[in-house]
A and B are shown apart, each in its own frame.
Chain A
Amino acid sequence: MTNTTVILTRDLAKSYGSVAAVHGLNLSVEPNRITAFLGQNGAGKSTTIKMLLGMVRPSCGEGTVLGKRITDAEENCQMRRKVAYVAENKPLYGYMTVEQTIRFASSFYPDWRADVARRLFNEYKLPPQQKVQSLSKGMRTKLALLLAFARHPELLILDEPSEGLDPVGIEHLLQTLVAQSAEGVTIFFSSHQIAEVERVADHVCILDNGRLLVNASLDQLRQSYRRIDLVFASAPPEREFRITGVEKIQTKGHQMSVFASRNAEAVIERAHDLDAVSVEVAPVGLREIFLETVKEN
């Protein structure tokens, strides 16, 4: 188990021609935590992951994973021995049978756990002699995940793991993630399933248009983000509420809705100072934080 930052990037960037997929990314993923990576399609999540794993070369900037430089082919190769990765499209070799696939994957990693592999194999009810190309999408997803979960890596990177799974499968996936985390595996996963992220993630990174907009612990987000709904007797004084932490103000008639990422107490105090008729404070869920952050960008 490491105590150093598991993933650390400095001004990591990638451009394809004139289009910048990733801008100056400063990512830091701490060990023994579950970190979620949120972003719209095309925000740069997969590109970032590919840069970390040596599949794509950064245009500039640098990074380390488990202390190894991502831009050095040799170091990156050594690092991959201790990293389990499942790409978004759950890649598998169609011409191999389920059994051949498992044997193939297990041969590369000293951290392979045959007992876990057997248990998951039975739980997922995979047909051993069937070729991968004739498996259903759900079965393929489970097999692809099995190849990662049957190991005990230092870092587990998952790109949209719940895609292709039914609700039972998703629940099982989350339980497995939690179990891995309890054994000291650092987990870094990207997902569109905000409800799932809210349950299991310790830390959240929000990426939009290649930029890291939010990088905070989920608990911190839960404690700082607030929506404050105010009603005034006369026209709401919007100008008075443009203080630090206020991200967005919406006014409709006598009502004003303030969306604050922090400093909500100051907003409430100001509201009372300005004789607001009604002050209602509500927590903000991760979905709303994500949507508002991305819209503002």
Chain B
Amino acid sequence: MLWYKAWLETRSRFLTCLATLTIFCAVFVGHAQELIRPEWTADCNRLLFVTQQFVVIMWILGVVLLGMGGIVREKAIGTSSLTLSLPVSRARLLGVRAGVGVLEAIALGVVPWTTIFLVSSLARMPVLISQVGFYVLLLVGGGLAYFAMAVLVSSLVEGEYTAPAVAFGVVLLTAIAFDAWLRPFNLWRLVTGDYYIDRHTYLLSGHFPWLGTFASLSVAGLMLLASVKVIQSREF
């Protein structure tokens, strides 16, 4: 029942983020469609691109929030003695927490984009489902690295407010660093679709960036493994 526990722990955060994101998308797209003539295809696609920029920011902040918690936080609130006395390995505890978080992150990407698709379809905008899929895959495939970072930070940093502060700080720093020094590896631009957008049609074109996404997911995987090692070596 570790999954159930992880769900109960993240439930309110998840539902709040989901509601915020979904409502924002629905309202944003719904409002914008009044300003666009359905024939102007490029504008419709550009709307999607702009929406993704907002979605990316909110999604990343959301998954960082979802990555908080874990046994280190439990130590601060006093329940680690209960969790650690369970006949489960620390790796499994972290694995389940990460698993629930990943599923929630995926939902946090799929549901708002589905809403965008539905709202824009209702407004008879020519939105291609393949484009929606592209955006979702970019978001989740590239962005899970941020979730993994949050899990790693929550394993290293004690303190209920210090951990999220550090994690959000890392988000900010990486955004700056990507723009300033790490141009070729700019995760931000991958996730927002900036690399693949055709400035005329505003369609995401070209092949799906499997390599970039795979690299990002690998980094995410490594960070989760590092989190396991950190948790295993800690004392409670």
**A-side interface residues toward B, CB under 8 Å?**
50, 53-57, 73-74, 77-78, 80-81, 83, 85, 87, 89, 91-93, 95-96, 100, 103-104, 107-109
Contact = CB atoms under 8 A, between A and B. Distances in A.
Interface of B: 1, 4-5, 8-9, 78-82, 84-90, 232, 235-236
Nearest to B1: A107
A95 B8 contact: yes
B79 A92 contact: yes
Give the interface SS of chain A, mostly helix, strand, loop or mixed: loop
7 contacts: A55-B236, A73-B89, A74-B89, A80-B86, A80-B87, A91-B82, A104-B4
B160 to A, nearest CB: 13
A109 B85 CA distance: 12
Given A55-B235, A57-B235, A73-B232, A108 B82 contact: no
A92 B87 contact: no
Given A93-B5, A104-B4, A108-B87, A56 B235 contact: yes
Given A91-B78, A91-B81, 13 more contacts: A50-B81, A55-B80, A55-B236, A56-B235, A56-B236, A77-B88, A83-B85, A85-B81, A87-B82, A91-B80, A91-B82, A92-B82, A100-B8
A73 B85 CA distance: 12
Nearest to A85: B85
Contacts of B82: 87, 91-93
A53 B1 contact: no
Contacts of B80: 55, 91
Nearest to B90: A73
Contacts of B8: 93, 95-96, 100
A82 to B, nearest CB: 8
Nearest to A104: B1
A55 B81 CA distance: 8
A87 B85 contact: yes
Contacts of B88: 77, 108
Contacts of A57: 235
A85 B87 CA distance: 11
Contacts of B5: 93, 96, 104
A89 B79 CA distance: 9
Contacts of A74: 89
Contact of B87 (A103, A104, A109): A109
B59 to A, nearest CB: 25
A95 B85 CA distance: 19
Given A91-B79, A104-B1, A53 B85 contact: yes
B208 to A, nearest CB: 40
A87 B8 CA distance: 23
A53 B86 CA distance: 10
B235 A78 contact: no
Nearest to B4: A104
A56 B80 CA distance: 12
Nearest to A81: B87
Contacts of A85: 81, 85
A202 to B, nearest CB: 24
A66 B84 CA distance: 18
A108 B89 CA distance: 12
A205 B4 CA distance: 40
A260 B65 CA distance: 63
